Structure 1
């Protein structure tokens, strides 16, 4: 992962969720030697005119070939090259390529965001290997890949609402596919490398804390990024859940949902939905993951001896909840 009005029947209007504050990276992190230069592979790919040229391209980019383009799904590399050549010469896809070029003509902001975030990762995890960062246009077949050795950003997904073609997804999900969400989405996937989980009991609390740890990690890596971009909420949605935090928590407690193990019920609060009508028709989907984030925040605030690394290794969701002393009050 990602209602636009008021939550839980409130009539208070909020005009933002994040204060405009100057955000500076600590000097010891800023000096970590990480230099991100995004390799715009689509600019080479869509100039290819023959199968041999495509085969040469695939040989030059084995990580893209194997991890993003999924070489193992093709019976041979020649058939893969033939299939990809049809993509490279598709005039309708060329329109997406031009729109991607226009939207992402200047990649310096994204490069800087990723560079700063990955410097933070190296600060907390010195042995972390900085992956290659590439872009591609796949004809809306894949948005992101994050592995130990490679990050690929499918730019055609993130052109925005003015794109000629958009992913086949509900509107509330399409609204996440914007340029401003690209770097935070990458770092959420990076968090998976460090986020240890144990869903033996598969209770809702386990999933809440799992998501909460990922959001917390991403915020630590990107402290200057608004919370709304990390969790894929609008500013209004985030302001609403913050205002109604006590009411949301009361609903989860009163309905006995924290230790619920029915996946059908858990998905109502964790999974992708435009809203959570069980709480309110205006309550944004995935609201329990946001609550999990707040629990993790309280846990780290109330237990300052716990390091980020220890948090990400902790699999006991009940322990995190208990030691967080999380208990927001209704307003």
Structure 2
């Protein structure tokens, strides 16, 4: 029997397949095996339960939400959409009579009709977190709508996900609130940012709170760099660096292209040990760009955060015996800088 097969083509195809799976294996080998960790994240849909209560008696809905959501419901009515001056039933009545709430709920439900992919991403991220920190108990995740009041709040055994702040950068609602939420922030209000923002908030608020004595710019750079490096280890490899830090792709490229110049600017202006809050915020806070750097406002914002990330990555690359846990426990920013041997070249 003869087979109509070109040997050279088959051999090349075999090599291609082998190379592909070898590359895939290499990409995955940096992450530990967490398949034995039992965890299944399911986001509780408070947003849907709240809207469904619109067709029922307010007293009935109020009791149902209190029983099912406990502290979260109390925080929602008293701190997120209310201020404690009105009862939870009065808050519900106000919401249900507000057309804007109805419109926002409908758009949110259309964007997040199926949140299974987000459940899966959160499950995987928190499996990695539990791998490094076995005592961590994943919080109850609760989705909600607050009228753009809060994005990822943490409360008593819960973590909220404000779906109205992840509708997609082109949502008509963000154009309407541009005075209070500028476009450089709302462009990140998209579904792909949910898991990175949840992970970052959890790391900052629950695992690695900033020390009060970290008052120099260098200390704050390294702290922020450690948070982003931690995110590198627990988020899927497919999550771009631009999404982790909240940059556009062009801002990432600008930072890479001018990395040596940025570092030289820090050194020439003696910024590493700056303690003046206002001066430091120029390099740590959100914004459309960093004033004083770059032409035509093309620079990236919060350059101290980005630079700290690069220093920490270099530190871990040059000191491979250091574990993630040891890195996160290290409080000596100068030690990390020195051991990183960070000297970017043009």
Q: Specify if TM > 0.5.
A: yes
Change (3 A) 1:155 1:201: closer
Matched, 1:221 2:234: yes
Matched, 1:255 2:276: no
Larger radius of gyration: 2
Matched, 1:116 2:124: yes
For residue 234 of structure 1, the aligned residue among 236, 248, 252 is 248
For residue 299 of structure 2, the aligned residue among 276, 283, 302 is 283
Unaligned runs of 5+ in 2: 1-22
Q: Which runs of 4+ in 1 moved over 3 A?
A: 21-27, 66-73
Change (3 A) 1:259 1:104: same
Shift of residue 241, structure 1, vs aligned partner: 0.6
Change (3 A) 1:69 1:232: farther
Residue-pair matches, total: 308
Matched, 1:273 2:287: yes
Partner in structure 1 of residue 41 of structure 2:
36
Tell me how far apart the structure 2 counterparts of residues 54 and 207 of structure 1 sit (CA, whole Å). 45
Partner in structure 2 of residue 91 of structure 1:
99
Tell me how far apart the structure 1 counterparts of residues 278 and 146 of structure 2 sit (CA, whole Å). 33
Q: CA RMSD in A?
A: 2.1
After superposition, give the CA deviation of every residue in 1:214-267 in whole Å (9 maximum; x if it has no partner): 111111111412111100011121122112211111111111111011111111
Matched, 1:188 2:200: yes
Unaligned runs of 5+ in 1: 1-20
Partner in structure 2 of residue 322 of structure 1:
338
**Higher normalized helix content (fraction of residues):** 2
Contact kept, 8 Å, 1:121 with 1:221, in 2: the verdict is yes
After superposition, give the CA deviation of every residue in 1:15-50 in whole Å (9 maximum; x if it has no partner): xxxxxx855475731331111122211111012243
The 5 Å alignment of 1:74-223 reads 74=84, 79-147=87-155, 149-166=157-174, 167=177, 168-192=180-204, 193-200=206-213, 202-223=215-236
After superposition, give the CA deviation of every residue in 1:130-188 in whole Å (9 maximum; x if it has no partner): 11112111222221123572121111111123433235311111111111111100000
After superposition, give the CA deviation of every residue in 1:182-214 in whole Å (9 maximum; x if it has no partner): 110000011122225334261111111111111
Contact kept, 8 Å, 1:188 with 1:214, in 2: the verdict is yes
Contact kept, 8 Å, 1:194 with 1:313, in 2: the verdict is no
Greater relative contact order structure (CA < 8 Å, 6+ sep): 1
